[in-house]
Amino acid sequence: MKKTIFLLAIFGLVGHLSAQTLKVHCGQVTTTIPAVQAGDMAYSDGGTVLTIMNNVFAVNAIDSITVDRSEYKASEVRVNYAGSTAHVTVSGDVAPHMAITASAADVSVVADALLQSEVVYELTGTSADGSFFMEGEYKATLVLNNLTLTNQRGAAVDIQNGKRIKVQLPDGTTTALVDGAGGTHKACFFVNGHPEFCGGGALVLTGNTKHAFSSDEYTLIEPGFGSITVNKAVGDGLNIEQYFRMQGGSISIKGVQGDGIDVKVTNDPLDEENGNIFIEAGSIDLTVSADDVKGIKCDNAMTITGGSITALVSGLGTKGISTGTDLIISQTGTTPTLVSMDVTGTTYMPGDALLESKCRGIKVKGNFTFDGGTIDISATGAKTKAISVDGSYTYISGSINCAVDANM
């Protein structure tokens, strides 16, 4: 085994020494070209135009061309933020399909519809006033690699690409995103498509205008994921359309003036699992203290089959969990299911026919089925209830230490 590893290291070194990469530097953007694919780099129009691998450069826009022995990586856009500026490095194979603008620390990448391959966008560095905007027609990967980014004027990260967006937080990294107050944007970190979170790193969000995070389609948190922490949001911590599925990782939300996690139906009735939440593993830790808000809210059904939800719920009319239709709590597989809440508070807008709202640990507008796991809810305060069910309550198995107020 030792001999194998030694040989691999030697051959890897030889391979590395053989690589050559040409770099065309134009302002804040560098295009990389692998030497083995460069071919004839043609000058035309009297030497005013240089074409390399379908990348057309105006020669007078080129600051310099350098060559080094670094390894070329295809299909990548790397943005490094450094204070009041940002530098973009784009691979030559995808650069012809990208409109990249970088002004101070604001970076915009718009990929045209002809780009039909996945690009990895990696963001690193630090800026107290910068942003990243991306638009495209094909699925992509967004790597947040020890990025600390504040945008005083809008969303810190705005992904308008409506496809699958793999959001990767590499192990051991921490990314912190903050937006500015008084803006018109929807969230500090926004994804128009469907984000899938992976990697063992940490993401910390602050939403000073509205939500900390928002997606216009489903959000998935994969097994082995690290953490999302919301320190503050004027709106919701996580505002999600279509559905939310959590298969691992941890979410911690506090300091929100809206809901902790809010899952809404989309306008398309054909969208699958519309308005549903699935908690399969991982942990959710919520502190909700504003009036008439919910720790976790969904327009349709919520299904918990593993993992833990822990909530401190206070405030008038506030609810730990609120479902638009049914709630199913069970325990499948090896991951224990735990729902633990400490609920204190009274009624919001008492006597108001439309707005009156009472404090609940769990509020189910449909039916509640409990088949495994542990429910531990402490509810105190006038007219406060641990669990309130508009429909029927079915107990099959599990441990529960509070009353369930159901109609059937």
Partner 1 sequence: MKRLFILMAVLSAVCVQAGAQSLDYITFRSADGTERSVSIDGLRITFADGQLSATNNEESFSTPLSALSTMFFAEAPTAIRAVATADAHLSYSNGLLSVSAPQGEIVSVYGADGRLVLQHVKQADGEECIPLSVLRGVYVIKMNGETTKLMVR
* Strand, coil or helix: 8: helix
Q: Which residues pair with 26 in a beta bridge?
A: 29
Instruction: From 61-69, 82-90, 111-119, 288-296, give the range in contact with partner 1 by CB under 8 A.
Output: 61-69
Task: Report phi then psi at 96, rounded to 5.
Answer: -60, -20
Nearer to partner 1 (CB atom), residue 62 or residue 312: 62
From the list 15, 223, 333, 336, which residue makes contact with partner 1 (rule: CB under 8 A)? Answer: 15
Residue 26 binding partner 1, by CB under 8 A: no
State the CB neighbour count (10 A cutoff) for residue 140: 25
- Contact criterion met (CB below 8 Å) for 31 and 23: yes
Residue 27 binding partner 1, by CB under 8 A: no
> Minimum distance from CB of 299 to partner 1 (Å)?
54
- The candidate with the shortest Cα–Cα distance to 264, out of 299, 296, 215, 301, is 299
Instruction: From 56-64, 96-104, 201-209, 229-237, give the range in contact with partner 1 by CB under 8 A.
Output: 56-64
Nearer to partner 1 (CB atom), residue 16 or residue 383: 16
Nearer to partner 1 (CB atom), residue 48 or residue 397: 48
Nearer to partner 1 (CB atom), residue 4 or residue 116: 4
> Minimum distance from CB of 5 to partner 1 (Å)?
11
Nearer to partner 1 (CB atom), residue 48 or residue 332: 48
Residue 14 binding partner 1, by CB under 8 A: yes
Residue type, 408: M
Residue with tokens 């018109």: 184
From the list 27, 54, 67, 268, which residue makes contact with partner 1 (rule: CB under 8 A)? Answer: 67
Task: Report phi then psi at 2, rounded to 5.
Answer: -65, -40
CA 88-139-268 angle, to 5 degrees, is 130
* Strand, coil or helix: 245: strand
> Minimum distance from CB of 12 to partner 1 (Å)?
9
Residue 56 binding partner 1, by CB under 8 A: no
Residue 126 binding partner 1, by CB under 8 A: no
Binding-site size, partner 1 (CB under 8 A)? 31
* Strand, coil or helix: 334: coil
From the list 27, 54, 66, 171, which residue makes contact with partner 1 (rule: CB under 8 A)? Answer: 66
Looking at the chain, how many residues does it have? 408
112: Cα separation from own chain's centroid: 24
133: Cα separation from own chain's centroid: 14
Rounded CA separation 389/405 (Å): 6
Instruction: From 5-13, 175-183, 287-295, 320-328, give the range in contact with partner 1 by CB under 8 A.
Output: 5-13
State the CB neighbour count (10 A cutoff) for residue 278: 20
Rounded CA separation 403/137 (Å): 51
Helices (DSSP H) in 50-183: which residue ranges? none
Residue with tokens 């990782």: 249
> Minimum distance from CB of 19 to partner 1 (Å)?
8
> Minimum distance from CB of 182 to partner 1 (Å)?
45
**Tokens describing residue 50:** 């240089």
Residue 4 binding partner 1, by CB under 8 A: yes
From the list 56, 63, 355, 378, which residue makes contact with partner 1 (rule: CB under 8 A)? Answer: 63
Residue 6 binding partner 1, by CB under 8 A: no
Residue 62 binding partner 1, by CB under 8 A: yes
- Please give the residues from 31 up to 50 whose contact with partner 1 meets the rule CB under 8 A: 35-36, 38-43, 46-48
> Minimum distance from CB of 9 to partner 1 (Å)?
11
Nearer to partner 1 (CB atom), residue 68 or residue 405: 68
Ramachandran region, residue 134 (left: φ > 0; alpha: ψ -120 to 50; beta: rest): beta
Residue with tokens 């691998």: 53
Q: How far is CA 173 from CA 122, 148, 221, in A?
A: 13, 11, 17
Residue 59 binding partner 1, by CB under 8 A: yes
Contacts to partner 1 by CB under 8 A: 3-4, 7-8, 11, 14-15, 18-20, 22, 35-36, 38-43, 46-48, 59-60, 62-68
